[in-house]
Amino acid sequence: MQDAIVTVLGGGGFIGRYLVQELFNAGARVRIAQRDPKAAFFLRLGRIGRIQFLAADVRNRASVERAVAGSDAVVNLVGVLGGDFRGIHVDGARNVAEAAKAAGVRALVHLSAIGAAPESPSRYGRSKGEGEAAVRAAFPEATILRPSIVFGREDSFTNRFARMLKYPLVPVVRGETRFQPVFVADLAQAIARAVADPQAHGGMTCDIAGPEPMTMDALLRRLAEWTGRSPHFLSLPDSVVAAMARFGGWAPGAPITWDQWLMLQRDNVPAPGSTGLEAFGITPTPLAAVAPGWLVQYRKQGRFGVVRAVES
């Protein structure tokens, strides 16, 4: 990896900031390509001469070709939870894979998601599955990583729910749905190792998850314990949430969209027998080992707040 040029599309995002650090630690030079490269300028601190920023939109083939030209490896982290699923997850993924192949890139890592499948009932899962197929057709040796929910200090997962816990009543949607959250640093390390050794990891599709499956209800109760909050949890009937999602999910700021509702009908855990972090020699980090460290900010008195037992 020493002095290898690695282009990271979407590198200024949550996962990207951890991946860039891993790549620098391995001696690589990094090219960040995204629609607004200025949003990633925070990554350049102390890395003058080893980092470059380019404007690129995965839906624009010419911009992708410019971004990957001269690269030794390419990582596609670009994804959305709403909006142009096909343009970004399918056509965009195809553009990246085809451009990487044409440029003679030796390694391509594509970030997908657990549950990706062309037959998925949700537009998100369906587009992710079709995107995987497009990548595999254009660049058969690509490494496809399919993480569960990703957590870390800057995430929109644990932080979002921890903020909700300040209210006395917290609604719970599909509390029995299971997740297997993965630590962002573990995922970043897996991506970097796939980039560094395409002979070992090329052509693989891996479900990347943490060490412990948990239900949404259990997750909320743990967050309450770690933040010293004791709200009352109210499980919402499926019929009520489905109606909210069906008739109000289109509105800006809606609590849940119809597509998100469809995704919650299935557990977000690895498929039986699937390959995971062990393929990269990584031991998954438990949520409990790291999350309490940043969740102290949500206690009433910050890190000096008293932890109290959670009510049912």
pLDDT confidence bin for 1, thresholds 50/70/90: confident
Q: Are strands 182-183 and 150-151 parallel, antiparallel or unpaired?
A: parallel
- Residue 265, SS3 per DSSP: coil
At 248 the pLDDT is: 67
Tens of pLDDT, residues 107-153: 999 999 999 999 999 999 999 999 999 999 999 999 999 999 999 99
Q: Which residue has the higher pLDDT, 117 or 82?
A: 117
| Weakest mean pLDDT among 21-25, 172-176, 280-284, 305-309 | 305-309
| Overall fold of domain 5-152+180-208 | Rossmann fold (3.40.50)
At 251 the pLDDT is: 54
pLDDT confidence bin for 310, thresholds 50/70/90: very low
Please, are residues 178 and 267 in contact by the beta-carbon 8 Å criterion? yes
Position 303 pLDDT exceeds 70: no
User: Looking at residues 224-237, what average pLDDT do you find?
Assistant: 95
Buried b (16+ CB within 10 A) or exposed e, 247-278: eebeeeeeebbbbbbbbbebbbbbeeeeebbe
Q: Which residue has the higher pLDDT, 249 or 12?
A: 12
pLDDT confidence bin for 14, thresholds 50/70/90: very high
Please, are residues 144 and 206 in contact by the beta-carbon 8 Å criterion? yes
Residues 6+ apart with CB under 8 A from 88: 58, 59, 78, 79, 80, 127
At 312 the pLDDT is: 36
Position 217 pLDDT exceeds 60: yes
User: Looking at residues 89-114, what average pLDDT do you find?
Assistant: 98
User: Looking at residues 33-48, what average pLDDT do you find?
Assistant: 87
Tens of pLDDT, residues 195-215: 999 999 999 999 999 999 999
At 307 the pLDDT is: 46
User: Looking at residues 41-56, what average pLDDT do you find?
Assistant: 86
Tens of pLDDT, residues 242-291: 998 888 655 555 678 899 999 999 999 999 999 999 999 999 999 999 99
Percent of the chain predicted with pLDDT > 70: 93
The CA-atom distances, in angstroms, between 229 and each of 280, 289, 290 are: 37, 19, 18
Q: What does the domain layout of the chain look like in residue ranges?
A: 5-152+180-208
Please, are residues 31 and 71 in contact by the beta-carbon 8 Å criterion? yes
Cα–Cα dist 65/7, whole Å: 11
Bridge partners, residue 7, by sequence: 31, 74
Local structure of residue 230 (DSSP, 8 states): -
Position 68 pLDDT exceeds 60: yes
Position 43 pLDDT exceeds 80: yes
